[in-house]
A and B are shown apart, each in its own frame.
Chain A
Amino acid sequence: MSGAWVTVLKRDLLLAFRRRSDVATTLFFFLMVSSLFPLGIGPEPAVLSSIAPGVLWVAALLAGMLSLTRLFAADFADGSLEQMLLAPQPLTLLVTAKVLAHWLVCGLPVVLLAPLIGLQYALPSDALSVLIISLLLGTPALSLIGAIGAALTLGVRGSGLLVALLVLPLYIPVLIFGAGAVAASQHGMSAQAHLSLLAACSLLALVLAPLATAAALRISVE
């Protein structure tokens, strides 16, 4: 069972490595969106550092969402998704491997790049470390919840926009706690409550989202 899990994970990572430009697109999107805000709002460091938590979190959330449609689409097109559905291993488990691969490819680079952009937004160093921790704790939930939307809209016309419509309302709690953690540390308060809630969101998503994703895949593929 764990053999199949590792195989799916390795395969998805290998496929992502072969199409490196896809990963770079996500990253550049994140970089560009967050560079647009200072141009629109103005270069005052005080303003920028006060909007930084929200802007960085929204940009990370949108970057992760844009890559969601790729999560199952290629497997659906070449038929390997059907093989996963027929496999003796539980689909829920295979889904977690695919989501983990997606997070490693699209989520983790954004987390690693975020402090750099945080510096541009004049975030103090302790807020920067909270930003990294909050993104580390929160982005897995984004990938897990997004997988449900990706599975539901598989092969549907206009699926890219539809995924946004389905998934964004469900992202709101993660956004609130994530940006809230950074803002709290900026104001000299403890970010621990926000971070705990963020971790709780991720754990809850880890338990429930793969089940819903597997059910959605079965609905979409049959």
Chain B
Amino acid sequence: MSEATVRAPSTAAEHPVPTGLWVWRYIILRRISQVGILLLFFGTLHWGWEFSKDVGLLSGNLSASTFIGLIPLTDPFAALQIFLTGHVLAQESLIGVAVVLGFYLLVGGRVFCSWVCPVNLVTDAAGWLRNKLGILAIFHLPRGLRYFILAATLVITVISGLAAFEWVSPIGMMHREIIFGLGMGFTALLAIFLFDLLILKHGWCGHLCPLGAFYSLIGKTALIRVRFDKNTCTHCAECAKVCPEPQVLNLKKLEERGYVFSGECSNCGRCTPICPEGSLKFDFKPLIRGHNVQADAIAVQRRTK
């Protein structure tokens, strides 16, 4: 039982699950990022925040915006839908797509989901409350459903000639209505909150949202990853308890790759501080290979001892 010896060095008693404010560091940073981005948009419109004279700081919303009057940013999924309606996009929005796509290809597509998307504030609140209340599942849906919804979005866009998701997106509604004036969009958010709270755990972000599915697909090349150290992991599964996408923490795949490979990981930073052994850590992908070689050597050493 060589595996047992690998696991032996640390026990739950030796390494309790960390607690305290430090564990919350990524969650706090994420909230600052999410609210901060909203605030930049809001301040530019309502308080006249300027980069220089008559040049707004961040003008627009998450669908498309201009940063310091110079850098266009465009939601690549919205642009894809508009492209499929048959409209030829102006150059500015194409540059915007390149900038945004390039950024998320580097840091991980679903970084949008947990660091930028305002709906994440709602679904995280629902998830937290669901845990507190210990609400049990009514039914399960396959997490792959979102990819079908993504495909449906594109098909319906072609058929109807309207950007199918942009016209119904609760993300767009929330963002627009916070920045440009309130409407009935909050009812959609309330529906998502109740759905996530009472019906399906991580229902919206983890099962349905086609934008999340889109970003999962482009997240495969990301350079910022959660590294996994197989020698220190005790399989305590504390990480899977807090992870909103626990299927990405598949142990077999983690041991094979040495990092969280799936594009569905949103780099939310819940698992890394909670790990009692510190086996999960954010790392730069090119450096992970070196770690893996080292880890393999240690494992072999231990087995041969």
Answer yes or no: do A and B interact.
no
Which B residues are within 8 Å of any A CB, using their own CB? none
